[in-house]
Structure 1
Amino acid sequence: MSSSEQLTAALDALDHAFASEAPFRVTGCTYCYDERDFAQLSGPLHLMADRLVSSVAAKTPDHWEDFPRLYRRLVPRVIRPLVTGRLHVDEELIASRLVQAGWTTWDPPLTEALRDVWSTWWQSTLRTHPSPVPVRNSLSVITVATHSLRPWLNTWAATRTPAADAHLTDLVDDVMFEFEITDLRMGFYEEYDAAAELLGWLLSDVRDRVVDVRLDDPYLHERLRASAQRSH
């Protein structure tokens, strides 16, 4: 099974897992939404308009009387377009909203289905270049959602494909602009401080796979040593 087929299977499994989330009467901000919107959100998932799903996916939790329950129910409609690059919402914002909805505290079948999507999406991304979602955005989403970066970097280091190497080149070109790497935070709200972890990984685990002389700048090594000293 190809990585794209595995991702499709994971998304189908996500749909199946979240099918247990029953409709309920949704209420919320009447300034941003009207009764027709609330009626749609209270009805069958597949009948909700894409523009309404995108809007709800982005809104702050205080727009809803029961934000965690609403976001949990919308997960299948949000995650599939997210990972396929068809959701017209900042990808990093979705990770922040999932954290605010407390996704890791949901029933195990739901959290396991989501974790499987994160893993298969990452594998698919590393084997597809260009990918539907830029690699930096994908990495940021799963890092913020799981509050961990190193496991995903380890997977990248172990994936020695032309696509993974092309993504590495793209990422380095992105984060090395004006040395952003030295103060890099991930997430819509910059929740995750990724600078030291990512810099250390680029200068060691995958340095031989990136042709970019900027990574040899002494300033970067000085910043990395300073970060290591602060952590001890």
Structure 2
Amino acid sequence: MPSHQQQVFTALDALDRTFASEEPFPVTGCTYCYGDQDLLDLSGPLHRIADDLVSAVAAEVPDHWDDFPRLYRRLTPRIIRSVITDQLHVDENLIASRLVQAGWTTWEAPLTRALDGVWSAWWQATLHTHPSPVPVKNVLSLLTVATGALRPWLDAWTATRTPAADAQLTDLIDDVMVEFEITELHMGFYDEYHASPELLNWLLTDARARTDDARLDDPYLLGHRHRPAPSETS
């Protein structure tokens, strides 16, 4: 197993150990969507919760649960491992938005440090692996929305000069150039993060020499290069 992939699983194992302090608690919520057995299972040992139930909770709207932040926090190791291994089958943008709604950055320091370790290891593994289990745009979206910042992940990409990182760049460009999505690209299930200004400028500057994609020279695209995000003009 490549070292960067091993580092991801090492970080995930550390996440499991750190979150083991999250004790089971009586889960209550929407009994129309979840039966008594579902709520009982969610109130029991983490490893005994069925994968499909974890997936359902990972995507569910917060108001279905009486204590959504605590439930999501407890399930986080299962959710994140399944996302990274492409076993969850839930939109990565939605997972990012749910993490934000659960307030993960306000959790106890050991928990947030463990998650930060996973984010960094996952991004490095993505930049050193092609193809990756999860498409690079989806990884970048989750990391950006969850952490509230795009630039650190782009800076890491700039510093990673490998064939895999360049191949991932090609994939990203192919993805965001469909109907010029890059000119109005939002990340997160609720479009929380307007990524176009930072990402487009990065593609046209730091990353430009790493690709010969002529689409990046399109006048329409270049005309959007310095357009500020809506929040900057309000």
Partner of 2:216: 215
Runs of 4+ in structure 1 deviating by more than 6 angstroms, as ranges, are none
Deviation of the 1:227 alpha carbon? 3.0
Give 1:91 deviation, angstroms: 1.3
| Alignment correspondent of 2:50 | 49
What is the 5 A alignment of 1:1-232? 2-227=3-228, 231=232
Instruction: Note if contact 2:29-2:64 (Cα within 8 Å) is conserved in structure 1.
Output: yes
Shift, 1:231, TM fit: 4.9
1:85 is paired with a residue whose SS is coil
- The letter for the 2-side match of 1:193 is H
Aligned to 1:225, the other structure's residue is in SS state coil
- Asked if structure 1 preserves the Cα contact closer than 8 Å seen for 2:197 and 2:227, the reply is no
1: CA distance, partners of 2:212 / 2:189: 30
Identity score, percent: 68
Letter in 2 for 1:107: E
Q: Which moved more, 1:209-218 or 1:95-104?
A: 209-218
Cα displacement string for residues 186-217 of structure 1 (whole angstroms, at most 9, x for unaligned residues): 11111100001000000000101112101011
Q: Which amino acid aligns with 2:14?
A: A
**Aligned-partner Cα distance in 2 for 1:146–1:167:** 21
Gaps of 5+ in 2: none
Q: State the SS of the aligned residue for 2:227.
A: helix
Change (3 A) 1:225 1:88: closer
Backbone CA RMSD of aligned residues? 1.4
Which whole-Å CA distance do the structure 2 matches of 1:204 and 1:115 have between them?
28
SS at match of 2:31: coil
Distance 1:204 1:127 in 2: 22
Distance 1:226 1:142, change over 3 A: closer
**C-alpha distance in 2 between matches for 1:27 and 1:44:** 16
Q: Normalised by the size of structure 2, how large is the TM-score? A: 0.96
Distance, in Å, in 1 between the alignment partners of 2:139 and 2:21 is 27
**Deviations for 1:159-183, whole angstroms, at most 9, x for unmatched residues?**
1111110010011111112111111
